[in-house]
Chains A and B, each alone.
Chain A
Amino acid sequence: MTKALNRRDFIQNTSAILGVASVASGFTLTTFAADKGPASGGKRWGMLINTNILSEAEIDSMVSACKKEHGWGFEEHSTGSQKPSWIKKVKVQDRATKKITSLPLMCQHCEEPPCVDVCPTNASMKRLDGVVLVDRHLCIGCRFCMMACPYDARSFVHEDLSNQKEHMPRGKGTVESCTLCVHKIDNGEQPACVASVKTDAVIFGDLKDKNSIISKTLRKIQSTQIRADLNLNTGVRYSGI
């Protein structure tokens, strides 16, 4: 007994198949995500930078590692101050003592990030584990976050980009900054800049874990936050400035 497939049956069957397929793919996606584990509020990622032992060459290698990892700094048309700069080497001198210090400066991953406060579209956001990111799909390129950031940490993409990294989609007309290499830390790796330093001048880890090396070190040595007066409780801490 064969039955000719009429149009109604075809539409019914096709819809059913499509329906099942889309629901199933949803389950699959959810399952994969759950396997990997979403960002958890039980963690707070942080970094401790000891400028007493971190050499200038090491800071340069941190900057290079970040550029290579994320593919910024190779823009063709942008001028120096238009080129993105996710991390930079800053040299400061104490006015009273004349002591000179070099340090890497990037997004400080504040607990109370002003960029997230001012962003009109929720594109600037903070993950539960304290990483501050920009959702490039929601960013309208208003640059208010750049006005609000006390650390000059954010960059605006001033031109079309090509040859982008698969793990780091970037786009003309949106704002970007250090992601703390979420794609790496979510896989249990260290951020590229931290990995580039062979000494323990830069320590990365979970600030909420009392037994992590970063927490233990912070308990022992003197450290500070840049613009601590703003009470932003930064995830990036410095020792030696």
Chain B
Amino acid sequence: MNKISKVRYQQVDGSGTGFYVLVALLSVLIVVALGAVYFMEHNGHYVTGMSNRIVWGTPHVFAIFLIVAASGALNVASISSVFQKKMYKPLSRLSGLVSLALLAGGLMILVLDLGRPDRLIVAMTEYNFKSIFAWNIILYNGFFVIVGVYLWMMFERRMNKFSSKVGLLALTWRLILTTGTGSIFGFLVSRQAYDAVIMAPMFIIMSFAFGLAFFILILLASYKWTERDLGDAIMNRLGNLLGVFIAAVIYFVAIYHLGNLYITENTGVEDFLLFDGEIYSQLFWYVQIILGGLVPIALIYSPVTRGNRMTLGLASVLVIIGGIAQIYVIIIGGQAYPMEMFPGMDIISGYGGIASYIPSIAEIFLGVGGIAVALITIVFFVKFLPFLPESLSDEVADPHHNR
């Protein structure tokens, strides 16, 4: 109790030039994204790189990435209120905020890339309960409500006592939510790259890594820019956790591919993704595995760079880049490889071959705009509400110090 009362939360000042430059920069990215949406929706999707073979393009990559990261960003709060790790308690509010902001950014992209975004009301009122997509709409909306209530429990002192119960609900909900996101792909039986139930748990572990990487970067930036104390105790703990999550992602990716390689009918798609897929194989090995997996692990655990704030930040950036590459390979690579429509036969013409896809600049702008929406949401909320502890110095954060 004493420990909790020691943490004082304070809005960020947000009156300096730096703050306005940041807001202006993010606003420009959002305006550009909206311009891109107008361009794509006015003309139709022919101005994008998408086609009838690659029906989900770069906007979906960013959207799914943000949605996956969103649920993972809530982990920090869960560790505190569900698993009673007191060190994470001061970070809980920010954790809830980051998760809501990332989800909002991701959903914005998803909605604006619809063929008919003007029919959003149809998606909200017509439900096919056999559709995992319809379930996701309910899960996303529920997430906003539950995390909103969770934040209220954290903010309102009278309600603090309920925060662990609501936290448990939020944790359960987010696990189901990411299961739903992974199952969008896992339940697609017709495509060789998907059709694997391991997609759901793999997406959950991916969310742990991507969400934490985002959280670490936002924490580092906000404490540096507001010149508040951020102790090593908390950063090293988060860094170690990130390292474990990255390793776990690599484990799941390995099992997914090994499992597919064992099944003869899937060796074609595996050869494509891992070896012959040109851009997809390169993204897989160089960006996803090496740059987004092995290098961050080395940065986090190597005795030379261990505990260094800059290298932890760099590792987090690499995890995000590797994560986007991973989702790109899953979504675009998985569609580029043709469906096995005639087992035992080669398709000579009419269908088949590797579908080509070059993302248009408008698609990329929309994706980046989604990230900007998430970030500007965080920026405004930390300015107007006390999300960030005044200090996260070791005395505040380290439970041993308090003993």
Convert B186-224 into 0s and 1s, putting 1 for each residue whose CB lies closer than 8 angstroms to a CB of A.
011111000000000000000000000000000000000
Contact B123 A120 (CB under 8 A): yes
Residues of A within 8 Å of B46, CB to CB, are 75, 77-79, 82, 158-159
Residues of B within 8 Å of A83, CB to CB, are 52
Contact B339 A81 (CB under 8 A): no
In the complex, how many residues of chain B place their beta carbon closer than 8 angstroms to a beta carbon of chain A? 49
Residues of B within 8 Å of A140, CB to CB, are 114-117, 119-120, 122-123
Query: Smallest CB-CB separation from A142: which chain B residue?
Result: B114
Q: In the bound complex, how far is the Cα of B120 from the Cα of A6, in angstroms?
A: 45
**Interface size class for chain A?**
35 or more
Q: In the bound complex, how far is the Cα of B55 from the Cα of A82, in angstroms?
A: 9
Contact A155 B52 (CB under 8 A): yes
With A91-B349, A142-B133 known as contacts, the answer to whether A77 contacts B44 (CB < 8 A) is yes
Query: Smallest CB-CB separation from A90: which chain B residue?
Result: B350
With A117-B131, A147-B55 known as contacts, the answer to whether A82 contacts B115 (CB < 8 A) is no
8 Å CB contacts to B: which residues of A109-137? 114, 116-123
Q: In the bound complex, how far is the Cα of B347 from the Cα of A91, in angstroms?
A: 6
Residues of B within 8 Å of A117, CB to CB, are 128, 130-131
Q: Which of A21-29, A169-177, A183-191 contacts B (4 or more CB under 8 A)?
A: A169-177
Query: Smallest CB-CB separation from A155: which chain B residue?
Result: B52
Q: In the bound complex, how far is the Cα of B116 from the Cα of A175, in angstroms?
A: 10
Contact B350 A172 (CB under 8 A): no
Residues of A within 8 Å of B345, CB to CB, are 92-95, 241
Q: Does A1 have its Cβ within 8 Å of any Cβ on chain B?
A: no
Contact B137 A89 (CB under 8 A): no
With A94-B345, A119-B131, A120-B127 known as contacts, the answer to whether A157 contacts B44 (CB < 8 A) is yes
The smallest beta-carbon distance between A214 and chain B, in angstroms, is: 23
Q: Does B15 have its Cβ within 8 Å of any Cβ on chain A?
A: no
Q: In the bound complex, how far is the Cα of B341 from the Cα of A241, in angstroms?
A: 12
Q: In the bound complex, how far is the Cα of B190 from the Cα of A141, in angstroms?
A: 20
Q: Does A96 have its Cβ within 8 Å of any Cβ on chain B?
A: yes
Contact B44 A172 (CB under 8 A): yes
Q: Does B402 have its Cβ within 8 Å of any Cβ on chain A?
A: no
Contact B341 A146 (CB under 8 A): no
Contact B52 A138 (CB under 8 A): no
Q: Does B262 have its Cβ within 8 Å of any Cβ on chain A?
A: no
The smallest beta-carbon distance between B21 and chain A, in angstroms, is: 37
Residues of B within 8 Å of A142, CB to CB, are 114-115, 123, 133
Q: Does A65 have its Cβ within 8 Å of any Cβ on chain B?
A: no
The smallest beta-carbon distance between A68 and chain B, in angstroms, is: 20
Convert B51-74 into 0s and 1s, putting 1 for each residue whose CB lies closer than 8 angstroms to a CB of A.
111011000000000000000000
Contact B339 A146 (CB under 8 A): no
Additional A-B contacts beyond A82-B50, A88-B350 (14; CB < 8 A) = A77-B46, A90-B349, A90-B350, A105-B351, A117-B128, A119-B133, A120-B134, A120-B137, A139-B119, A140-B114, A140-B117, A150-B190, A158-B46, A227-B190
B contact set with A: CB distance below 8 Å: 41, 43-46, 50-53, 55-56, 114-117, 119-120, 122-123, 126-128, 130-134, 137, 184, 187-191, 335, 339, 341-351, 355-356
19 interchain pairs, CB-CB under 8 A: A77-B43, A78-B46, A82-B52, A85-B52, A92-B342, A93-B346, A95-B346, A105-B350, A121-B128, A143-B56, A147-B188, A147-B335, A152-B53, A152-B341, A156-B45, A156-B52, A158-B44, A230-B190, A241-B345
